[in-house]
């Protein structure tokens, strides 16, 4: 057999759910020198192209026709393979490594419709109420039948308006959103102490600085008094990101074993990523939150921690994006994004079109504060005039100093780089609240058993 000819060296990237993953060395697209060209099929193509050029009712752009033909060929393989134009390739790199202006959503093609994977927290789409699973049917009144074209039309200069029409399950009519484009933030990690000893980290996507930001957040919480006794890792509506960052995040909480494996037809596309012994032990219990907007890299993290029994998964089933795409530079600034493998969790599970199932299914809802308000309206012993204190020396009424001291104990607002997050609001989230109860309950049982 003739030797294989490797394509010219280029930046190889892994794409999951619309975001770029920088691929580790070893993955390459290749030609086999003795492959038989499909001359007969190519003649059919050139015959059709000539007929169109000579006979179509209007003049045609030959370059555009060929580009569209390649797009159709590659796009027929699966929703994630595509020919990237020079502009599309640049935008793809910006999605992970730079800022851009738009409405702030991650999308994919599903059932031939542009479908929202997840809105980005703090963006125009997020604030307007666009949700994971929404189908975008029009942008500025024009039908959407091409993913890249839809993305291009939703992006634009900051401060300009765009009208997005969606269909949503359960809604009898299409919904129309008028959004003002803005700079989409690139920061992906936010953290808070929900209660002393119990931390919360929200990873919105996996960017090139996610690992460093997460380590900084964990170091701060771990050095607090009391130190961390439990952690909630929120991966809800996280559409994916850079492979290297996802692997590193897993490695923070695992000391050994497989994190991820990939399998394709080519031997070069078979890879295994393993955890390493950490210098700093992070053995506290964890709950990971997932939902239908958790895709790709976030599914890798959730699946790895679940398989290693390192974390309990809570929420709803994830998106189910379990394929690997490689990108190779072509001539004139074009690039080919091609599905080359499937990836698997440490136990060998493929999540492609299946998703990661949580250990505990909890639908998200905002908890009402009526019960708390009712409790506060109920007259208690402490409300009675001249009531006895708990101990003989306890005063019957609180001084202004005591009231200020209690006020200082209230959960603080978390100053996010995108928008302020209120810890009280987080605690009203049914999934966050349930996760916190599980972590606290674990500590209670642990102390009971020790006793």
Class of domain 101-184: mainly beta
Which among 240, 355, 380, 354 has a CA at the least distance from the CA of 298?
Answer: 240
Q: Based on the residue annotation, tell me whether 134 is a catalytic residue of this protein.
A: no
pLDDT tens-place string over residues 75-116: 999 988 999 999 888 777 766 665 678 999 888 888 889 999
Cα–Cα distance, 68 to 66 (Å, whole number): 5
Q: Specify whether 321 is catalytic.
A: yes
Give the tokens for residue 311: 């974390």
pLDDT at 5: 36
- Determine the pLDDT at residue 307: 98
Note the pLDDT of residue 147: 85
Strand, coil or helix: 338: strand
User: What pLDDT sits at residue 414?
Assistant: 44
Q: Which of the residues 81, 191, 262, 296 is marked catalytic?
A: 296
307 labelled catalytic:
yes
Which one is predicted more confidently, 118 or 370? 118
CA distance 139 to 116: 13
Find the range with the poorest average confidence among 181-185, 356-360, 440-444.
181-185
**Mean pLDDT across the chain, nearest whole number?**
83
Domain regions of the chain by residue span: 101-184
Catalytic residue among 318, 321, 323, 429: 321
Catalytic residue among 307, 337, 416, 429, which? 307
Q: What is the pLDDT of residue 424?
A: 87
Helix pair angle (62-75, 39-55), 10° resolution: 140
pLDDT digits (tens, 9 = 90+) for 344-393: 999 999 999 999 999 999 999 988 764 444 444 456 666 666 667 677 76
Residues in the chain: 451
Summarised one tens digit per residue, pLDDT across range 224-235 is 999 999 999 999
């Amino acid at each position: 057999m003739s030797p294989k000819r490797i394509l010219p060296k280029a930046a190889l990237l892994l794409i999951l759910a619309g975001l770029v993953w920088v691929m580790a060395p070893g993955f390459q697209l290749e030609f086999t020198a003795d492959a038989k060209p499909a001359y007969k099929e190519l003649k059919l193509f050139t015959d059709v192209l000539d007929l169109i050029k000579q006979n179509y009712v209007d003049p045609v752009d030959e370059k555009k026709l060929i580009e569209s033909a390649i797009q159709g060929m590659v796009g027929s393989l699966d929703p994630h393979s595509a020919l990237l134009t020079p502009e599309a390739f640049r935008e793809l790199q910006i999605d992970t490594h730079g800022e851009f202006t738009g409405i702030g959503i991650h999308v994919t093609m599903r059932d031939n419709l542009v479908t929202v994977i997840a809105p980005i927290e703090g963006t125009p789409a997020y604030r307007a109420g666009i949700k994971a699973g929404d189908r975008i049917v029009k942008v500025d009144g024009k039908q959407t039948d091409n993913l890249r074209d839809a993305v291009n039309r939703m992006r634009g200069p900051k401060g300009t308006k765009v009208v997005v029409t969606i269909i949503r399950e359960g809604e009898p009519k299409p919904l129309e959103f008028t959004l003002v484009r803005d700079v989409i933030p690139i920061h992906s990690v936010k953290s808070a102490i929900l209660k002393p000893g119990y931390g919360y980290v929200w990873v919105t996507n996996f960017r090139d600085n996610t690992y460093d930001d997460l380590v900084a957040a964990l170091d701060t919480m771990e050095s607090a008094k009391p130190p961390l006794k439990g952690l909630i890792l929120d991966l809800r509506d996280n559409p994916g990101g850079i492979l290297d960052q996802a692997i590193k995040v897993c490695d923070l909480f695992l000391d050994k074993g497989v994190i991820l494996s990939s399998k394709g037809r080519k031997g070069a596309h078979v890879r295994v990523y393993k955890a390493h012994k950490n210098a700093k032990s992070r053995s506290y219990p964890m709950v990971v939150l997932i939902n239908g907007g958790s895709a790709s890299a976030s599914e890798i993290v959730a699946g790895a921690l679940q398989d290693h029994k390192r974390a309990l998964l809570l929420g709803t089933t994830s998106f189910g994006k379990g394929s690997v795409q490689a990108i190779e530079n072509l001539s004139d600034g074009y690039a080919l994004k091609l599905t080359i493998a499937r990836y698997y969790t440490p136990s060998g599970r493929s999540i492609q079109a299946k998703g990661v199932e949580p250990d505990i299914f909890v639908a998200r809802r905002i908890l009402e504060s009526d019960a708390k308000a009712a409790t506060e309206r109920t007259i208690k012993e402490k409300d009675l005039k001249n009531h006895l204190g708990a101990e003989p020396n306890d005063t019957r009424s609180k001084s202004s100093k005591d009231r200020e001291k209690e006020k200082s104990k209230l959960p603080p607002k978390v100053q996010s780089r995108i928008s302020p997050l209120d810890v009280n609001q987080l605690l009203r989230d049914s999934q966050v609240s349930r996760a916190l109860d599980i972590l606290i309950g674990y500590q209670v049982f642990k102390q009971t058993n020790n006793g």
